[in-house]
Amino acid sequence: MPHEATRLREEFGTVDERVARLNARYKNHSATSVLELALRDAELGRIALVSSFGAESVVLLHMISVIKPTTPVVFIDTQMLFQETIDYQLELIEKLDLRDVRRIQPKPAAVARIDPDGTLNQRDTDACCNLRKTVPLQEAMDGYDAWITGRKRFQAGSRAALDFFENELNTRIKINPLAHWAPEDVKDYMINNRLPRHPLVAKGYPSIGCAPCTSPVKDGEDPRAGRWRGQEKIECGIHFVDGKMVRGPLPKTDSVADTKKGDAA
């Protein structure tokens, strides 16, 4: 509803101003503290968690279930997911008592027009992601002022300087509670809370997307090496950096390189 975004702007300022304040306010907080406080921070307005129910999704889903289980959870069903992902989603909904999971899909008319035989991913992965993921998510997000993501600095060069809060096209705010977590933090959280793992993780899939574009990862490879293997593509296109949709690798600037070195240390 547009009037809510207008109210937030009139009361708290532009998205940029709010993001700057939020990052300053929460810069020394833990992931759980950022999430808990953000869910009741008036500057953020209406919030949803966007979850792929992938390899590491259970961490934020568990946090939400403890802090505020009625938080809307938006799940993008591209209709090309592994059956294991669909089954895992149903398992977590029941186990964590998630009370408002909203499963969204691409519009049938758009699929019939653009990808009638289901082979678009073989010809143009960007177009397929746009049809099945980016557009449905953008439409679903129209009703929210902020959304929670599971993105982390260690996952890709495009995420190396990630903050807790980001400006998304001056329209809404992205909340990244796990931005500063290392892989060990994710693993420890799952173990300590006895959370079920996605069944494909044990089969060599540390990062899980659509079935046609995800392959197992060998020992020593980057965890996301199995996503769009053999292509320059590293992101599906639902995230933006400096106002531009991210699909391929970012130019290697000094700031990004320095951040990556810091993470490695």
Domain limits, the chain: 2-258
Q: How far apart are CA 20 and CA 109, in angstroms?
A: 41
CATH classification code of 2-258 = 3.40.50.620
What is the side-by-side order of every strand in the sheet holding 172-175?
A: 101-104, 73-76, 47-51, 146-148, 172-175, 165-168
Pairing of strands 73-76, 101-104: parallel
Distance in angstroms between the alpha carbons of the first and the last residue of the chain: 44
Interval 150-191: pLDDT, tens: 998 876 555 567 899 999 989 999 999 999 999 899 999 999
DSSP structural state of residue 237: S
Q: Does the pLDDT of residue 39 top 90, yes or no? A: yes
Interval 195-236: pLDDT, tens: 999 999 999 999 999 999 999 999 998 888 899 998 877 666
Active site residues: 236
Mapped onto helix, strand or coil, the DSSP state of residue 25 is: helix
Helix (H) or strand (E) holding 177: none
Interval 12-24: pLDDT, tens: 999 999 999 999 9
Q: What number is the average pLDDT over the span 248-252?
A: 42
